Amino acid sequence: MYKAKAYSAESATSPLGPATIPRRDPAENDVQIEILFCGICHSDLHQVRNEWSGVMPTVYPCVPGHEIVGRVTRVGSAVRKFKPGDLAGVGCMVDSDRTCPECQAGLEQFCPNFTLTYNFPDKHLGGVTYGGYSEGIVVDQKFVLHVPANLNLAGAAPLLCAGITTYSPMRHWGVGKGKKVGVVGLGGLGHMAVKFAHALGAEVAVFTTSPKKKDDALRLGADEVILSKNADEMQKHERSFDFILDAVSADHDISAYINLLRRDGNIVMVGAPEKPLAISVFGLLMARRSLSGSPIGGIAETQEMLDFCGKHNITSDVEVIPIQKVNEAYLRLLKADVKYRFSIDMASLKSE
Ligand code: NAP
Ligand code: ZN
């Protein structure tokens, strides 16, 4: 075991601040990574503030961060996938049971015994896992991804959660040429969804509450931008969408979007608001529409997504910040004031 610098929260109401955390010495299948960049996901904020207390209560101190990109510094004797000096990525999971039907199918995100990157029981050191707001991490090679060398690293980090969480449902539900796709909420996840839907050849519309984001949405690949507070604009799109991805972090009216789906259309929730959402079931049953959800993605699909991004030169649009600005960044996330992901330059942790 060794000590690593990190940023942690001590309670649901305290700001994040410097801390020292334990990391395990790499065992035979482990990869030790020096973290270069870590994205700030809105899930980090939900978790730090214990907003998901009913499903995943937060254990303090909490070190969030599951959009990790770094460089391999050491590998265990059985590691063949990586060598020191390689680029490496780590997303939301660091382990699973590898034997259940979900793992056998390469869908580790549904494994009942997976280990999330932070705030999950740590099988090696006891306590809970600590995430990427840290100078380093040690992860089993199976859960470490290859990051294409042509990608900007600060912009690649958010692919490990925002990227896979939007890519996976689009692949699952067949987004592509000839499909009309809606993206609700132009934040970290939403802007990646726009890039993927566009790259996959779909017609893309963005629904936003922020008129200021209109030009950006078009630049990111949207064909159309709809201000969701404008009822007339919304009504014009009734019964026209094949697929809508909802990436909103707070309470909002999803029935308004259900009504925009065509017959047999599907709205997938990737956003995870604190409180249950109200649904008008008539919107669902009148046109046999579906409401679904999707969490992150499996390891093989995450690698597929990263390779897709390498090929199409897709990264997240990031505002790079030092770790010392993390609390300010959280406040800005709550105001939907992010373009379009904060990426922490972990070199800033050296001065702590
Ligand atoms: P984010 O960057 O903060 O973006 C959220 C966006 O939602 C905002 O930019 C805003 O877009 C819109 N929004 C915020 N408050 C709103 C409100 N009251 N009404 C309507 N729209 C509102 O968050 P993120 O990191 O993309 O994460 C989004 C959600 O996905 C979070 O709940 C997060 O926990 C969840 N998540 C889920 C998974 C998964 O596996 N399913 C993975 C990662 C994250 P506009 O300004 O365009 O309206
Ligand atoms: Zn996330």
Ligand 1 centroid distance, CA of 188 (Å): 7
CATH 3.90.1010.10 correct for 2-161+297-351: no
For ligand 1, atom 36: residue with the closest CA: 271
Q: What are the boundaries of each domain within the chain?
A: 2-161+297-351, 163-293
Helices (H) then strands (E): counts for the chain: 11, 16
Q: Are 123 and 95 in contact (CB under 8 A)?
A: yes
267 DSSP β-pair partners:
244, 291
Residues 168-183 have a mean pLDDT of 98
Q: Do domains 2-161+297-351 and 163-293 have the same CATH topology?
A: no
What's the start-to-end Cα distance of the chain, in Å? 21
Residue list, ligand 1 pocket, CB within 6 Å: 41-43, 46, 161-162, 165, 185-190, 208-210, 213, 247-250, 252, 270-273, 295-296, 333, 336, 338
Which pLDDT score, from 0 to 100, does residue 71 have? 98
Taking the CA of 92 as reference, the closest ligand is 2
Q: For residues 323 and 327, what is the distance between their CA atoms, to the nearest angstrom?
A: 9
Secondary structure percentages of the chain, helix, strand, coil, to 5: 30, 30, 45
141-169: pLDDT as tens digits:
999 999 999 999 999 999 999 999 999 99
**Residues across the chain:** 352
Q: For 80-111, how does the pLDDT look when each residue is reduced to its tens digit (9 = 90+)?
A: 999 999 999 999 999 999 999 999 999 999 99
Q: From CA 302, how far away is CA 221, in angstroms rounded?
A: 22
- Global pTM exceeds 0.85: yes
> Is residue 127 classed as helix, strand or coil in its secondary structure?
coil
pLDDT digits (tens, 9 = 90+) for 341-351: 999 999 999 99
- The string of DSSP codes covering 268-292 is EE----SSPPP--HHHHHTTT-EEE
Angle subtended at Cα 204 by Cα 269 and Cα 337, rounded to the nearest 5 degrees: 65
> Can you tell me the distance from the alpha carbon of 209 to that of 68, in angstroms, rounded to the nearest whole number?
29
Q: How far apart are CA 179 and CA 347, in angstroms?
A: 43
Residue among 283, 277, 274, 226 nearest 256 (CA)? 283
Q: Which fold has domain 163-293?
A: Rossmann fold (3.40.50)
Percentage with pLDDT > 70 across the chain: 100
CA of 295 to the centre of ligand 1 (A): 14
Contact 146, 45 (CB under 8 A): no
pLDDT in tens, 240-298: 999 999 999 999 999 999 999 999 999 999 999 999 999 989 999 999 999 999 999 99
How many angstroms does the Cα of residue 52 sit away from the middle of ligand 2?
A: 14
Residue having the nearest C-alpha atom to atom 16 of ligand 1: 250
